[in-house]
């Protein structure tokens, strides 16, 4: 984002879980131009050993 303070309002929460060499990150985020909108649920799974992304899932909830 272009504004330094953007992250303060864009991220609802972050949860990190490590299993073996995988790191599962779940968070709720909001695009900068829609701060008052509902948040997107994001799940990211990475392989920490190989430093690769295994999967990304983004779900937008409609109003």
Q: What is the pLDDT of residues 8-30, one digit of tens each?
A: 666 778 999 999 999 999 998 87
Q: pTM above 0.75?
A: no
pLDDT of amino acid 1: 47
* Burial degree of 43 (CB within 10 A; 0-12, 13-18, 19+): middle
Confirm whether 31 is domain-assigned.
yes
Confirm whether 13 is domain-assigned.
yes
Please state the domain count of the chain. 1
Position with higher pLDDT, 60 vs 11: 60
Confirm whether 30 is domain-assigned.
yes
What pLDDT digit, counting tens, does each position of 32-58 carry? 665 556 788 999 999 999 999 999 999
Confirm whether 1 is domain-assigned.
no
Confirm whether 47 is domain-assigned.
yes
Distances (CA, A) of 27 to 4, 8, 44, 50: 19, 13, 9, 22
CATH code of the domain in which 35 resides: 3.10.450
pLDDT of amino acid 38: 77
Domain span holding position 14: 6-60
- Cα 45-46-52 angle, rounded to 5 deg: 140
Query: What SS3 string covers 8-22?
Result: HHHEEEEEEEEECCE
């Amino acid at each position: 984002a272009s504004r330094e303070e953007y992250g303060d309002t864009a991220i609802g929460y972050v949860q990190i879980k490590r299993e073996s060499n995988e790191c599962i990150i779940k968070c709720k985020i909001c695009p900068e131009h829609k701060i008052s909108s509902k948040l997107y649920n994001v799940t990211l799974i990475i392989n920490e050993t190989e430093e690769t992304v295994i999967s990304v899932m983004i779900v937008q909830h409609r109003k």
